[in-house]
Amino acid sequence: MQRATARNFLLGSVVLLGILGLAVYARFGNSDCEPDAETVVAVVDFTDPLGGDARATLKDRVWEAITQATDHSNVVFRAIVGVNKSGKLLTVSPSVMCRPERPSATTGLRGPIKPVQDRWLAFQDQVCGAAPVDPTLPDRPPLSCGDPARRGSFFELQTEKSYSSPIAEEILDAARRHLSPNVKRWHLIVASDWRENIPGKVSLGKNNCNPQVDPHRVESLLLVGPREKLLANQNNATGRNLIDNYLIQRSDMTRSEADCLQSVAEEFFHLNMASPPPDLNTWRLSVTQP
């Protein structure tokens, strides 16, 4: 084989391998997440409005949890809504996403960097909402997830006014659907004022939470058998399962009521925990309107 022919053959082989590599990279870079992959589930209460400060903090915390998950994790957003004035059940379909590879210092060693970066930024816009682009500032660092300039995400959901608050029911349904025992690791994030309101059953919205009674009444909210525990730690090498509960504080909510509602939430989670239990953290969001 002549030297020129050999050189052309070698160059052609390199180009062909590059094309094949890009095809394989694109195939796996865009593949859907496996059903048993690590999962982040955010359940947000929209039965009452969510204030701007509370929304910004929640968006930043959820985005942080997503970035800390492994590549190709499932990300699920669930909205808690109730019934409208006529008694019709309001519905919002869950939003399910596949978290792409997060760009890192080693990304360039495995393939082209720009497609990975572009997918990651597009995913961030999908989760956090897109922000206007200023052509005069092309190198402006990306906005934080909670920046008010970001709009159009799940967190800005607008629905009809709800006349019930099926908080416990929606959390349990989310656990059944998205946190099966086969999931390798999960992180459940719940944001609610915990003013559960089921007509004829319990109303923590119209009646102030009683710390002597109401935390012990949450057992009546469990739509599961007494032996069924939906929240458990997996005891595997991928890390512990986590629950982050964010209490949405209302402008008409006293400190004692907030303490009581926090106790209701914690008792609810503890009643649903199997052994070994996941880690439970409780936080409070900024005061927002009723």
The answer to whether the beta carbons of residues 286 and 216 sit under 8 Å apart is no
* pLDDT tens profile 81-107: 999 999 999 999 999 999 999 887 666
Q: What is the mean pLDDT of residues 177-186?
A: 92
* pLDDT tens profile 30-87: 448 999 999 999 999 999 999 999 999 999 999 999 999 999 999 999 999 999 999 9
By the 10 Å C-beta count (0-12 exposed, 13-18 middle, 19+ buried), 111 is classed as: middle
The answer to whether the beta carbons of residues 208 and 246 sit under 8 Å apart is no
pLDDT score for 235: 65
**Look-up of token digits 């019709």:** 88
| 200 φ/ψ angles, rounded to the nearest 5 degrees | 80, -5
Estimate to the nearest angstrom the gap between the alpha carbon of 29 and the chain centroid. 21
Residue 10 pLDDT greater than 50, yes or no: no
Residue 173 pLDDT grade (very low, low, confident, very high; cuts 50, 70, 90): very high
Residue 187 pLDDT greater than 90, yes or no: yes
By the 10 Å C-beta count (0-12 exposed, 13-18 middle, 19+ buried), 290 is classed as: exposed
Copy the structure tokens of residue 197. 């309101």
Of 26, 12, 25, 10, nearest in space to 109 by CA: 25
**What is the pTM assigned to this prediction?**
0.85
Q: What is the mean pLDDT of residues 174-199?
A: 92
More confident residue, 134 or 57: 57
Q: For the chain, what percentages of helix, strand and coil (3-state, to nearest 5) are there?
A: 35, 20, 45
The answer to whether the beta carbons of residues 264 and 209 sit under 8 Å apart is yes
Residue 221 pLDDT grade (very low, low, confident, very high; cuts 50, 70, 90): low
Q: What type of residue sits at position 164?
A: S
